[in-house]
Amino acid sequence: MKNDKLYYSISEVAQITGLEQYVLRYWEKEFSVLKPKKSRGGNRIYTQKDIDIINRIKYLRTVEKLTIEGARKKLTMRRAKEEKVTIVNNARAKTLIGQIRKDIKEILKIFS
């Protein structure tokens, strides 16, 4: 099941990643690599690449227990290509799981 959606709202990204919207906005200020575009109305528009970065930051903060500064440094470090591919694949898998979770919630709303 491949999701062909190009852009996500902040509420969708929050649901997919399991993070609060205020955390996403805060991380946008703290991590220069996270720069979602904004619509004409000023709403954030996230791409899959943005979600991959968010999942990477989440991993660094929760699993590796790094501070914001530590996560920022680790994100800017160059990585071996194999490790980078693994990180991206893991982030995409988490995104897919989050999207499936969101879809299931929507299906449950229909049947309740």
Q: Please count the structural domains in the chain.
A: 1
Q: How confident is the model at residue 1 (pLDDT cuts 50, 70, 90)?
A: very low
Cα–Cα distance for residue pair 73/34, rounded to 1 Å:
14
* Residue that wins the pLDDT comparison between 17 and 83: 17
Q: Which domain holds residue 21?
A: 10-111
Q: Which residue has the higher pLDDT, 7 or 75?
A: 7
For the segment 35-91, what is each residue's pLDDT rounded down to a tens digit?
999 999 999 999 999 999 999 999 999 999 999 999 988 887 755 555 677 777 888
Of 63, 69, 39, 35, which is closest to residue 49 (Cα–Cα)?
Answer: 35
Helix (H) or strand (E) holding 109: helix 81-111
Rounded to two decimals, the pTM is 0.67
**What CATH number is associated with residue 31?**
1.10.1660.10
